[in-house]
């Protein structure tokens, strides 16, 4: 269970939100600029909230004034909107980058690349990929981490309807198999996520007026 009660402010922008999940899948929706990415980055530990707390399965990730667990120790993986692939590595090498025993390719790898349509791209480098292909490689790498908490920021960007359906089906199967809690931030293709019961819509905050 994830519990969040935070405030995070930037010049001209302030996010105040509360989130409590009881299911293992949550859809985070809202217009661009409503704070979806900021919330995910705070949960992952890449941004530090100004106030409040973040806890997961009864352990605190962040507690104002006393605790801020580093991202690597949060057992959470964030798939961001930015292309974070290593340009000098192949698709296969990028996906398996976090696997400690390089000589042992996990069965999950073969299943994921097939379901994401990446099995014919294993030896290509990121420069040869389309935007949608790169997104799928990033998703595959995130799934190979086997995190307790999977945070996905706009995972359907650049995908056609058929691929959106494949990704949605894979995520549903993945969370049921590995009991991973998943939070998906998106403002598109919400109709493809009817297996998600827990939904939170962020309202764009009022921006400060220039003085």
Q: Which has the minimum average pLDDT: 4-13, 104-113, 126-135?
A: 104-113
**pLDDT over threshold 50, residue 208:** no
Round to the nearest angstrom and report the end-to-end CA distance of the chain. Answer: 42
> What mean pLDDT comes out for the span 75-88?
94
Q: What angle do CA 157, 1, 154 make, to 5 degrees?
A: 5
Q: In order of start, what are the domains of the chain with their CATH numbers?
A: 2-201 (3.40.50.300)
pLDDT-based confidence at residue 189 (cuts at 50, 70, 90): low
pLDDT-based confidence at residue 209 (cuts at 50, 70, 90): very low
Instruction: Please write the tens of the pLDDT for every residue from 144-182.
Output: 989 999 999 999 988 999 999 999 999 999 999 999 999
> What mean pLDDT comes out for the span 51-72?
95
* The most confident of 9-18, 38-47, 195-204, by mean pLDDT: 38-47
**pLDDT for the residue numbered 210:** 38
Q: What is the rounded CA–CA span in Å between residue 23 and residue 175?
A: 11
C-alpha atoms less than 13 angstroms from C-alpha of 148 in its C-beta half-sphere: 13
Q: Which has the minimum average pLDDT: 14-18, 37-41, 52-56, 135-139?
A: 14-18
At how many degrees (to 10) do helices 161-178 and 131-144 cross?
A: 0
The pTM of the full predicted model, rounded to 2 decimals, is 0.90
CB 53 within 8 A of CB 209: no
Tokens of 171: 């995520």
Strands 2-10 and 51-56: antiparallel
**pLDDT over threshold 60, residue 42:** yes
Q: What is the rounded CA–CA span in Å between residue 137 and residue 9?
A: 32
């Amino acid at each position: 269970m994830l519990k969040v009660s935070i405030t995070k402010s930037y010049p001209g922008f302030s996010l105040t939100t509360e989130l409590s999940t009881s299911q293992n899948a949550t859809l985070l929706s809202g217009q661009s600029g409503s704070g979806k990415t900021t919330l995910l980055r705070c949960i992952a530990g890449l941004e530090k909230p100004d106030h409040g707390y973040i806890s997961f399965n009864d352990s605190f990730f962040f507690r104002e004034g006393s605790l801020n667990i580093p991202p690597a120790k949060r057992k959470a993986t964030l798939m961001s909107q930015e292309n974070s692939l290593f340009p000098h590595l192949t698709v296969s090498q990028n996906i398996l980058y976090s696997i400690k025993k390089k000589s042992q390719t996990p069965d999950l790898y073969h299943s994921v690349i097939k379901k994401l349509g990446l099995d014919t791209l294993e030896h290509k480098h990121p420069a040869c990929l389309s935007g949608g292909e790169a997104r799928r490689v990033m998703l595959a790498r995130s799934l190979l981490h086997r995190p307790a908490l999977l945070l996905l920021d706009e995972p359907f960007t650049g995908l056609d309807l058929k691929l959106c359906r494949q990704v949605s089906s894979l995520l549903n199967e993945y969370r049921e198999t590995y009991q991973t809690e998943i939070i998906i931030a998106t403002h598109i293709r919400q109709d493809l996520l009817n297996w998600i019961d827990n939904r939170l819509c962020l309202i764009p905050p009022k921006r400060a007026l220039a003085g």
